[in-house]
Amino acid sequence: MARERMTSERWAQLTHWPLIVASLLWLTAYSWKVIGDVTGPGAIGLWVVIGATYLTFVVDYLVRLMLARPRAPWFRAHLLDLAIVAIPMLRMLRLLRVMTSFTFGQQTAGTLLRSRIAIYGAGASMLVIYLCALAVLEAERGSRGANIVSFGDAIWWAFVTVATVGYGDYYPVTPLGRMWAVGLMAGGIAIVGTVTATVSSWVIEKAARGRDDDEPATRAQVRGLLQQVGELRKELADARDGTKE
């Protein structure tokens, strides 16, 4: 059983960077296809790349599922990996995992956590805006009455939507485009919540440090009391030894 777990861990180590490369290939191919409005043989080639990266993630998930023991708890604990297989855009989360793995200098646990949340939040917001712009452009382009017909229109619409500004100069008219708009609105709310929570945590920690700095005498008194207790214990031990003699 331990050998199977090691095999699963070894598989994850071996496939980590290949899956990162697959994510980048998918993003490049999808961006090229949508922004360039590629048709004909070029579109077929890009679809081959997109399909190959999709197959790579499917195979990776199935192999890890087969190596897992027991499988049911592993399946429940890795629902995000299943979602990554089902929803292509979630594959970009692997890129964010790489970004959050880097640390700069010595940091406390709280500071490190907030740094990773900030990086993850900033990266996620940029990816959400970019990918939703691509998806809406693909859904809207060529539709009757569409006003989002270029990548510039799409990225502007995505930014004002995620910022909850909503000027109304650009908006999706197709059912699929509106579905992506709802997802982007929900993502914008989540991003704002993450930023607010991170800033609040930073302020609370700063306030706590300030209170500690304002009370040096209290800590000194505690150290003095501990020293006195230690001396009393030593005197009691000496007295006990003298009584025995």
192 and 115 in a single domain? The answer is yes
Is the confidence at residue 20, as pLDDT, over 80? yes
108 and 192 in a single domain? The answer is yes
**b/e map 141-160, b = 16+ CB within 10 Å:** beeeebebeebebbbbbbee
* 108: three-class secondary structure by DSSP: coil
Q: Which of 72, 100, 128 is the last residue of a domain?
A: 100
Q: What pLDDT, in 10s, does the model give residues 77-129?
A: 888 888 888 877 777 777 766 665 655 555 566 666 667 677 777 777 788 88
96 and 2 in a single domain? The answer is yes
More confident residue, 47 or 190: 47
Cβ atoms of residues 133 and 155 within 8 Å: yes
With respect to residue 17, please indicate whether it lies within any of the assigned structural domains: yes
72 and 123 in a single domain? The answer is no
Q: What pLDDT, in 10s, does the model give residues 224-242?
A: 777 877 777 777 777 666 6
Is the confidence at residue 2, as pLDDT, over 50? no
45 and 130 in a single domain? The answer is no
Q: How far apart are CA 91 and CA 58, in angstroms?
A: 11
Is the confidence at residue 201, as pLDDT, over 50? yes
Q: How far apart are CA 54 and CA 86, in angstroms?
A: 9
59 and 134 in a single domain? The answer is no
The H or E element that residue 150 is part of is: none
pTM of the predicted structure, to 2 decimals:
0.70
Task: Give the range of the structural domain holding residue 241, as residue numbers without chain letter.
Answer: 215-245
User: Structural domain tally of the chain?
Assistant: 3
With respect to residue 210, please indicate whether it lies within any of the assigned structural domains: no
Q: Which of 100, 116, 132 is the last residue of a domain?
A: 100
